Amino acid sequence: MMRGSVEAQERQREHHKKYYQEHKNDIEFRKARKQYYEKNKVRLRKIRKLYARKIRKQAEEVLGGLCFICGAKRPLCGHKKDGSSHASNIAPLILKNPDEFVLLCPSCHRGIHFCMKILNMTWDAFLKEYKSREVCHDSGKR
């Protein structure tokens, strides 16, 4: 039994070695990239943050800088018109395909998800419904 496990270990080591040989460039590249990141973490994070903010601002400008539904100025998030995406880092996608996105304030954002997911409304139906109502809105109080 001891012998068996030694052999198994040996086999595993061989397997790892083979894997390393086959993916050497990839593995070394990832290692180097990680080391570089660890070394420059603070600076890189700062750059990334500034860049994200800049891109976000650009994306908001491209989409008009106002909530698509109610015209609130902020806070806004970019949103895919089909309701599928509201990740905070979609600014690069917005800049690539601005036609597919709108800006929404938090309360219209809640509205759209309620209508599309709970009431199964389409984007167009949502717009018609929402814009035709006098919606009591958060942004009015601010």
Chain positions 76 to 95 lying near Zn ion, rule: CB under 5 A, are: 86
Give the nearer residue to Zn ion in terms of CB position, either 9 or 85: 85
With CB under 5 A as the contact rule, the residue among 105, 115, 121, 126 that binds Zn ion is 105
With CB under 5 A as the contact rule, the residue among 108, 115, 121, 126 that binds Zn ion is 108
User: What is the SS3 string spanning the chain?
Assistant: CHHHHHHHHHHHHHHHHHHHHHCHHHHHHHHHHHHHHHHCHHHHHHHHHHHHHHHHHHHHHHCCCCCCCCCCCCCCEEEECCCCCCCCCCHHHHHHCHHHEEEECHHHHHHHHHHHHHCCCCHHHHHHHHHHCCCCCHHHHC
**Closest residue to Zn ion, based on beta-carbon distance:** 86
Give the nearer residue to Zn ion in terms of CB position, either 28 or 92: 92
By CB under 5 A, residue 115 contacts Zn ion: no
By CB under 5 A, residue 102 contacts Zn ion: no
Site for Zn ion, rule CB under 5 A: 67, 69-70, 72, 86, 105, 108
